[in-house]
Copies of this chain bind each other. A is one copy, B any other.
């Protein structure tokens, strides 16, 4: 993991379908050399995959929310992951230190659907309360590298 690897990652984050020759031209390496480095970074788990970026609104996901969950007593991270991952509208979840115990990111097609998801989360026995923030506008979201 040196400066060249980071340059390659930066290039792949800006264009995940860039050809190895194209990346090589940017970092001063041949295409096979770039591929070898990418393969190694995947093997080491630094690059975990490639994906298409979509505009949620253009695909019908018009409503988005961040919901904090406050639990009553201790809940293991594994249990949290299991119960939250089962709800398809939850696209991300993190345990946090601060006021709440966990934050989940919900994407849905309507406000009604958001409400249903929150209801479903509250079914978990140990959920004491939730606190929602409905997203009005996404200012920006960018890939990050180092």
* Chain A residues with a Cβ under 8 A of chain B: 9, 12-17, 44-56, 58-61, 64, 66, 68, 77, 80-81, 84-85, 91-100, 102-103, 105, 107, 109, 131-146
Contacts and interface: CB of A to CB of B under 8 A. Distances in A.
User: Copies of this chain, how many?
Assistant: 2
Contacts of A137: 77, 94-95
Nearest to A10: B52
A47 to B, nearest CB: 5
A141 B46 contact: no
B141 A91 contact: yes
Contacts of A136: 94-97
B139 A95 contact: yes
